[in-house]
Structure 1
Amino acid sequence: MTTIVIDGAAVVTVDPERREFIGHVVAQGNRIVAVGPGPAPAYDGARVIDGRGCLVTPGFVNTHQHLYQWVTRGLAVDATLFGWLTTLYPVWERIDEESVHVAAQAALARLALTGCTTAADHHYVFPRGGGDLLGAEIRAAAQVGLRFHPARGSMDRGQKDGGLPPDSVVEDRDEILAATEAAIDRWHDPAPGSMLRIVVGPCSPFSVSGDLMREAAELARRRGVHMHTHLAETTDEGDWCRETFGCTPLEYAAQLGWTGSDVWFAHGIHFDDSEIKQLGQTGTGIAHCPSSNARLGAGIARAADLRAAGSPVGLGVDGAASNEAGSLVEELRHALLFARARGGPQALDVRAALEMATLDGARILGREAEIGSLEPGKLADLAVWRLDTLEHAGIPDPVAALALGTPPPLALLLVNGHPVVEHNTVLTIDEEALATQVAKTQHHLTTKPSST
């Protein structure tokens, strides 16, 4: 059993006492066995890492992503959400197993370089004849080495039914439900320490029928898995729901069984006070995606208000087609700055932002007993950040340096006790070769004739 000792570092535990100190963290196998101030105990045969000048945090949890979009970045850069979708759906209908695998590897490698140890993905585009797309990204996550919660997404309202997606990428409701249950049977691992758990994830109210939303929720609860969808991302969506259903997006989702501690929504920007109270009372989570929301001009989520109401608010990078950076540590900074831009200088403090990136994200995924803080017995998912570089040296508070400064170099990323990143380099894939594959794949997708 491999033992890794990180000694002499600033440690921010995010444990129940919110302890912080200069000290040590020890991982043995896939578990943390010791966390405390001062020098680490001696362990025979241990690998000892000099943590001086570094900050150790729990590994970050990405609560919303579309991995396949990594190979469709830089398109429709000045469009609103609906215009952006209309532009990109004809490109996305060309994805296949190979392109999704390349995209997922690249997006997950980027997440690893920015402190992410657990990633939730939302894949909802399944073109006919595209192959095993969910399997392609699951294989990529195993290769990169991240803990993975992929949502088997879906759309059954194409253009012929008044939806936005091309009819070539929507599926029949019965086909979707069967495929989703098959994904749970094939891949979902509910065991403690699991590296792979499946989520049920219809895309959004304007691309999914009410019947599918309701039956997907019933399926998820029957199988004991979590549920995820987009909601309240734009004012256009709110207008559309009122015109179509006579209610707000949240009222519509709640009628279909989509609130509760096993549910989280992507974005959640446009909620009023009563809806925020309802989300908090039901424990419904929000994946806050500040960079993507800003890129698309969708607005600023009321993250501080949602947290105060009791709703867990995690961070998400969203798809790389609306957040080309794909950096989770940048979302921590943007969440902090945008909350203050909206609510004043004390709307969100630096440690609350760190909690959103760690423990709150773990809570959303139902993993707070295993990840999200540095405590003996928890899984060895952690990040070691270098803060002795020119960009950060001299900042007395290491959490402020991480949250307010430029993204620091990552000295080490452990996932399940295994090094995935060292010295700001991903160990598990060839970054240069993958970058070449990404460029070739994007060129192929954007020059190949559309089937519509």
Structure 2
Amino acid sequence: MTLLIRNAHAILTGLPGAASRHAGPDMRIRDGVIEAMGALSPLADERIIDARDCVVYPAWVNTHHHLFQSLLKGEPQGLNQSLTAWLSATPYRFRAAFDESTFRLAVRVGLIELLRSGCATVADHNYLYWPDMPFDTSDIIFSEGEALGMRIVLCRGGATQSRAIEQDLPLALRPEGFDAYMTDVERLVGRYHDSRPESLRRVVMAPTTLLHSAPGAQLREMAKLARRLGIRLHSHLSETVDYLDAARAKFGMTPVQFCAEHDWLGSDVWFAHLVKLLPEEITLLGATRTGIAHCPQSNGRLGSGIADLLALEKAGVPVSLGVDGAASNEAADMQSEAHAAWLLQRARKGMLAQPRYEGGTFEGGADAATIEDVVRWGSAGGAQILGLSRSGTLQPGMLADIAVYRLDDPRYFGLHDMAIGPVACGGRASLKALLINGRMIVENDSVPGLDLDALRVDAMAAVKTLQQRALA
């Protein structure tokens, strides 16, 4: 079984430096694996994807999402709130309003939005769990991913203790028992987790917010169990200055020091956000090879700030991109996220530059991040953080997770370098093809069997249902 991507205008590989682009123009896939790249002649009976005037990227690897929030976009009460107030106004207020059908629809909407941006792998940090739930959110996420052929990494969130802001909210916010939480993680690993490189199902230990979701002794036990089971660890950290204040007030240390004290640093750990860090925290994260899921659009929408990817990567921190939840990111797709990451790293560096009248040399920030850097973060960086050893780059021997973009919208017309279009121009480039493990998932911008108009109607109805339930 072979497939030939032929006559690509440009290929970005996800690799660093000079290897970030490949002349191609052809790429052969055999049995789900990239076999060869270069000037290739078609084989007899080989399927051909004509990529003339198209650009080829590694499929995106999204390392942090909250899929249930796909039906909470632009929610008015939280629209102009910062993180803590937004949590109460939107995701916590609507949490009890979700039932099995609305949760399933939200997951489907989120996955399809990601898929149509060229995303193959989704790490969903799902925290909709409470005692005696009448439906299994984990099973829904895996089953919806399977129906679309996507790679799902379930980051099993939840909490075993409550936060102060949660006290007056619905019973659906009640914490789980510690034993029940640990038992369910073991159940999920036994039922779903597959560590093979080509696997489409993995499980991660991921209490929702490390400083608040469980006592320190329990966090150590969670880390111990995860490493015994051979799974990775994930949580939110240092999204705002409130994390630093809370860690010092409660524990007398910084957030990253707290993680170190409880065995939550290492190359098998990554955190979402890491916007507000002290220099010594960056050094510790880098020394332990702890990773980041950078979520620039959500951080901007909530007014949290811009993570310093340049300092983090220089220190040795693996960098990846995540969408976060659609309730704080109304463009919850990886192409938009990559575009924001490219712009905001430049803006951040420019804001920190010393003006000449203070004795410094103003250089601006236009060299902070290249398109190739952003593609590497969003593909190879994500694969490294998730432990996907044969995903994330386009080179022989790697799994064929490939996005072929057809730049046929006016927003891409006039480009002097078409290779940069999907990131530099933003928007949503139409997909000539999206392959996951060499399997055609999207063809000519169409997902087989998907009725987008029906999905839109269902989503509109579900939003009304959720609004009514939240008022009840």
TM-score, structure 2 length as denominator? 0.90
Name which of 363, 375, 385 aligns with 2:395: 375
Contact 1:7 1:48 in 2 (8 A): no
Contact 2:233 2:270 in 1 (8 A): yes
Structure 1 counterpart of 2:81, one-letter code: A
Structure 2 counterpart of 1:274, one-letter code: E
Contact 2:408 2:430 in 1 (8 A): no
Tell me the residue number matched to 1:305.
311
CA shift, 1:326, in A, is 0.7
Tell me the residue number matched to 1:322.
328
Name which of 256, 264, 270 aligns with 2:262: 256
Q: Aligned equivalents of 1:2 and 1:430: distance in 2?
A: 29
CA shift, 1:66, in A, is 0.3
Give 1:331-346 correspondences, 5 Å limit. Answer: 331-343=337-349, 344-346=365-367
CA shift, 1:56, in A, is 0.5
Contact 1:159 1:165 in 2 (8 A): no
Name which of 424, 431, 441 aligns with 2:462: 441
Name which of 376, 379, 385 aligns with 1:364: 385
- Whether 2:280 is the aligned partner of 1:274: answer yes
Contact 2:3 2:49 in 1 (8 A): no
Number of corresponding residues? 448
Tell me the residue number matched to 2:207.
202
Tell me the residue number matched to 2:193.
188
Give 1:38-437 correspondences, 5 Å limit. Answer: 38=39, 40-75=40-75, 76-88=78-90, 89-127=92-130, 128-159=132-163, 166-169=170-173, 170-204=175-209, 205-343=211-349, 344-367=365-388, 369-407=389-427, 408-437=429-458
Q: Aligned equivalents of 2:264 and 2:463: distance in 1?
A: 35
**Secondary structure of 1:426's partner?**
coil
Name which of 23, 27, 32 aligns with 2:34: 32
Tell me the residue number matched to 2:13.
13
Between 208-217 and 140-149, the greater mean CA deviation after superposition? 208-217
Contact 2:282 2:315 in 1 (8 A): yes
- Spell out, residue by residue over 1:16-58, the C-alpha distance to the aligned partner (whole angstroms, 9 max, x if none): 633421401122231111212x3x2222212212211111011
Structure 2 counterpart of 1:93, one-letter code: A
CA shift, 1:71, in A, is 1.5
The root-mean-square deviation of aligned C-alpha atoms, in Å, is: 1.9
Structure 2 counterpart of 1:83, one-letter code: A
Q: Percent identity?
A: 37
**Secondary structure of 1:122's partner?**
strand
- Spell out, residue by residue over 1:182-240, the C-alpha distance to the aligned partner (whole angstroms, 9 max, x if none): 11111001123111111110000223332332221111101010111000001122212
Structure 2 counterpart of 1:114, one-letter code: S
TM-score, structure 1 length as denominator? 0.94
CA shift, 1:439, in A, is 1.9
**Secondary structure of 1:136's partner?**
helix
Structure 2 counterpart of 1:92, one-letter code: R
Contact 1:380 1:414 in 2 (8 A): yes
Q: Aligned equivalents of 1:386 and 1:335: distance in 2?
A: 22
Q: Aligned equivalents of 2:26 and 2:260: distance in 1?
A: 45
Contact 2:51 2:432 in 1 (8 A): no
**Change in CA separation of 1:334 and 1:307 when aligned onto 2, cut-off 3 Å:** same
Structure 2 counterpart of 1:374, one-letter code: L
**Change in CA separation of 1:281 and 1:310 when aligned onto 2, cut-off 3 Å:** same
**Secondary structure of 2:441's partner?**
strand
CA shift, 1:74, in A, is 1.6
Between 139-148 and 160-169, the greater mean CA deviation after superposition? 160-169
**Change in CA separation of 1:283 and 1:83 when aligned onto 2, cut-off 3 Å:** same
**Change in CA separation of 1:396 and 1:189 when aligned onto 2, cut-off 3 Å:** same
Contact 2:95 2:172 in 1 (8 A): no
Tell me the residue number matched to 2:356.
none
CA shift, 1:388, in A, is 4.9
Between 353-362 and 233-242, the greater mean CA deviation after superposition? 233-242
**Secondary structure of 1:411's partner?**
strand
Unaligned runs of 5+ in 2: 350-364
**Change in CA separation of 1:243 and 1:330 when aligned onto 2, cut-off 3 Å:** same
**Change in CA separation of 1:201 and 1:116 when aligned onto 2, cut-off 3 Å:** same
CA shift, 1:437, in A, is 2.0
Q: Aligned equivalents of 1:237 and 1:15: distance in 2?
A: 34
Contact 2:267 2:288 in 1 (8 A): yes
